[in-house]
Structure 1
Amino acid sequence: MTAADEILELTDDFYEHPHVVYEALRKRGPIHRVRLDGVLGWMIVDHDVAKQAFVEPTISKKIGSPEGRAVMAEHGARGRYDSAINDNMLFADPPQHTRLRRLVAKAFASRAIRDLGPRIEEIADTLLDDMTTRKSVDLLDSYAFPLPISVICELLGVPDGDKDAFRAWTAVLVNDSAAIEERTSAGLNFFTYLTELITVRTENPLDDLLSELIVAKDDNDRLDQQELISMLFLLLTAGHETSVNLIGNALLELLIDPRSADRLRTNPDKIPDFIEEILRYQGPVHFGTARYTTAPITLGNQDIGAGEFIMISIAAANRDPKRFAAPNRLDPDRRDTRNIAFGHGLHYCIGAALARMEATIALTRLLARIPAMSLNVTVSDVAWRKSLLIRGLTTLPVRLSSNTARNTPAQEATIPWAEPDNLGEPQFSTV
C-alpha cells in the first residue's frame, strides 16, 4: 500500500490530545492522508512543508468556486464552507485577494486601531471589577470571551445588546460537530444582521471601523455589499475567536504553573514574550483554513494530485523538533519565536497585532488585579473544543482567592512547564 492509498482514521480523542498524534505522525513523515470527523485530506505536520503549502500558488483558497465546492463535497466537507458570508479575502486567491486586502488594510491602519490600548484596558478592568466580587468564575465566560468581542463590536459599531447573539452564532460556525442545519441557520442569521447593520451605518456613518470600510477605496475601487458582509463576518468571527482562545490558552498555562504567573506579576514587561511563546506552544488556531490543489504537486516528498483537500496543522508545525528545540516545553525565554500561529505569506492574519495587544493587556491587567487563582478542576478534566479551525477550551473554571496556595521552592522542581517530550501513544487506525 502506498502513502496515497493509506488513510489514517483519527478518533475524537485527537481533539483532546492532538500533539500525541502529531509526534507519532512526524516519525512517519511530514504529510499524511487522514480522515478526521468525516473530512478526508492531506494533513501537514512539518514546519517547512507547512510554509511551502501556505505560499504555493497551485494550492487555492477559492472554496466558493465551482471547483472548490466540488473538492469540498468529494472530501466530506460539504456544508462547512458553503455560506455566502465566507466570500471574503480569507477564501480568495490573487488578484481578488490582493484587491480585498488592500482595501481592508486602509481601514486597519486607521486611528481606530492604533489608539485602542487604553480602551482595551478599560474593558478589562470593568470585567475584573465584577470578577473580584466572586470566589469562583469561568475565566472564558467572564473574561476571555467578553473582552475581545467587546473590542471588535465597538470597533465595528455593533450595539452592546447584540454581542451575545454574535457569540452564539460564531460558536456554532466554528464547531465541527454542529449539524449542517444549525450551521446554516447561524450563517443566515449572521448574514441578515450584517446586511441590516451596513444599511444603518451607510445612512448614518459613525467614527468606527465599519464606517471606514464602507467608504474605503483604492482609486475608484471599493467593497461592494456582498464583500462588506463577508468582510464583517471574517473580522467578527476570526477577530473574536482568535483573541478569545489566545487569552484562554495563556491563562490555562498560568494556572498549570503558578510560578510563571508570579514571574509575570513581578516582571509584566515579560508578558509579550510569554504571549509569543503561547502562540507557538498552544496557539488559538489549530488548522489553517480550507485549501485544495489545482494541479499535481509534491509536498514533503509526497506526490499529490489535483483536486485534493489540504490540511495545514499550524499547531503541529509550531512544535516541529526540526524547527524548535524541546518543542513540547513552554519556554518564555525561547530566543527564536518565529512561529506561524497567524499563518504565513499573503494570507498572514491582518489582525495579528490587535490579537497580541488584547492578549498582552488581558494578562497584564488580570495579574495586576488578581493576587492568586487556581483551577477549579483537575488539569485532566479541562476539555478542548471539537474544531479543526480553533484550538481552545470549552470552559476554564477557577477559584479566586488571596489565600490560594503557591508553589514552594521544594515543589518547584516537580512541576513541569507543561507537557513532557514523550507524549504517549496516539489513537488512530490505518484503513
Structure 2
Amino acid sequence: MEPTTQKPFLGFFDGDVHGQLADFRERWPVAPLRLPDGRTGWLLTRHDDVRRALADPRLVKDGLLSPLGFRPQLPPEVYAATAQNMLTVEPPDHTRLRRMIQGAFTPRRIGELAPAITATTDRLIDALDTPGTHDLVTEFAFPLPVAVISDLLGVPLDERGDFTEWASILASGVHRKSELPGAVVAMITFIRHLVAGKRERPGDDLTSALTTATDQGDQLTEDELVSTIYLLILAGYDTTANLIGNGAWLLLRDRTWWSEARADPDRLPKIIEEMLRYESPVQLGTHRMAAEDVSYGGQLIPAGSTVLLSLLSANHDDRVMAEPEVFEPARTRSVHLAFGHGIHHCLGAPLARLEARIAFTRLVSCLPETRLADGFVPRWRASALLRGLEDLVVTTR
C-alpha cells in the first residue's frame, strides 16, 4: 500500500485499522491523501509529530467543525450558529470562549455531578438485568452521557426525547448522512429555544450561566453562545459514549480485566487510561490548516494544506511505549493523546473520566456475569473522526 492522491480518505474504521495505521507509521509517517472535497490532506501518525502538531500555532483551525468536506448544506444562519466555538477558532477568541465555560468543569463542580451520574447509571443497569441479550452501546453507553449533558445544560426532562434523537443522528455522521442537515437545523432551533427559556427562567445549569453572562455583556455573541452549547452537546455525548462502549468491549473480550476491575475498583482509573489509549474514542483530531509552510518528518507541508492528526495511531507508537498492541492497564507510564494536547486539550476530560469510572464500577459490581453474546463480532461506526462500536451485544445473566 502506498499513500495516494487518487483514493479519497474517509477515515479508519474498516478492516485491520491498527495494522493500517502501523503501516503508515513505519512507511509514510507524513502521508498525502486526497480528501473527499478534492483537496490534498497530510496525515501525521507518529506520536511525537502528532503531539507537536497539536500545539503548533502554525497549524490553525479554519472555522469548520465538520471534517474533511463532509459539511452538510445548511442555511447560513444555522451554519453560523455551529461554527463559532472553542473547537473552530484560535486565540484570542478561543481563550475568551474557553474562559466562559471552564468554571463548569472544575474538580468541585464535576464532583457535584457524581450522585446524578450514579443514579442514571443504576437506572440503566436495572433495565439490563433481565434475561436475554442486550446491546451495551444503545442501552447503556449512549444513554448515560446524553443524560449527563442534559443535566449539565438544563434540558427539561419532557424535551429529552427529541434532543436525544437529534444527538444520535449528529453522532452517526456519514452513517446517517441524509438525516444530518435536518438534525443540525432541529438541534440549533432547540438550543435557541432552550436559551430563550433560560432567559425567562434561569436555573442552576450551564446554559443559564452562559446566557446570563452573554446578556450582561461578557463579550459573547448570540451565535457564539449557541455554537458553544452545540459543541458541548457533541463533545459531551459521543466521545464519552465511545469510551464506555469501547472500554466495555476491551474488558469483555478478555474477562480477566472485568474480573480484576470487580475485585479491585481502585484499579479502574488506570484501566480507563489504557482504554483511552488502546481504542481512543476520537481516532482523528479535528483538522488543522497550515497557515504557513511547515515541515514534519522531513516532509514539507505547503501553506494552506489540511493537516490530519491520528490520535489513535499516536497512541500505538512503539517509539514512546512498549508493546503498544497489548492492552495493559498496569503500564507504569501512559503518554496517550486521547484528549488531545495544547490549547485545544479536551476541557471535559475530567467529566468523561468520572462518567467512565462510575459506569464501570457499577457494571462490574451489579452485573458480574456479563459476557459477550455467542458469535459477537465487533463492527466500528463509519466515522472520519470518531472510534466507536456499532453495537456490543452481551448476556448479563
Q: TM (normalized to structure 1)?
A: 0.84
Hey, what's the Cα distance between the residues in 2 that align with 1:13 and 1:89?
23
State the partner residue of 1:343. 340
Q: Greater shift after overlay, 223-232 or 211-220?
A: 211-220
Q: Distance in 2 between matches of 1:293 and 1:150?
A: 38
Please list, as runs of the form range in 1=range in 2, the aligned pairs for 1:186-205 lying within 5 A after superposition: 186-205=183-202
| Structure 2: unaligned runs, 5 residues or longer | none
Taking every aligned residue pair, what percent have the same amino acid on both sides? 37
Amino acid aligned to 2:163: F
**Counterpart for residue 61 of structure 2:** 61
Q: Secondary structure at the match of 1:32?
A: strand
The gaps in structure 1 that reach 5 residues or longer are: 402-431
CA shift, 1:11, in A, is 7.7
**Match of 1:177, SS?**
helix
Alignment partners' CA distance in 2, 1:80 and 1:252: 36
- Superposition deviation, residue 162 in structure 1: 3.2
> What does residue range 107-122 of structure 1 map to in structure 2 within 5 Å?
107-109=104-106, 112-122=109-119
Match of 2:370 among 361, 373, 386: 373
Aligned with 1:15 (options 13, 16, 22): 13
TM-score for both structures, normalised by structure 2:
0.91
Tell me, in whole angstroms, the C-alpha distance in 1 between the residues paired with 2:271 and 2:372: 20
- The aligned runs of 1:168-247 (5 Å cut-off) are 168-178=165-175, 182-216=179-213, 221-247=218-244
In the TM superposition, 1:189-338 aligns within 5 A as 189-216=186-213, 221-338=218-335
- Equivalent residue, structure 2, for 1:152: 149
Deviation at 1:236, TM superposition (A): 0.9
Residue in structure 2 matched with residue 400 of structure 1 by the alignment: 396
- Displacement of 1:8 after TM fit? 6.8
**Structure 1: how far apart are the matches of 2:183 and 2:37?**
21
Is 1:384 equivalent to 2:380 in the alignment? Answer: yes
Amino acid at match of 1:9: K
1:219 is displaced (CA, Å) by 9.9
Supply the distance in 2 between the matched residues of 1:104 and 1:203 (Cα, whole angstroms).
21
Cα distance, 1:377 vs. partner?
A: 4.7
Change in Cα spacing, 1:370 to 1:181, as seen in structure 2 (3 Å) is closer
Equivalent residues in 2 for 1:65-104 (5 A)?
A: 76-79=69-72, 83-84=79-80, 85-104=82-101
Q: 1:348 to 1:229 in 2, by over 3 A?
A: same
Distance 1:280 1:383 in 2: 19
Q: CA deviation at 1:218?
A: 12
SS, match of residue 303 in structure 1: strand
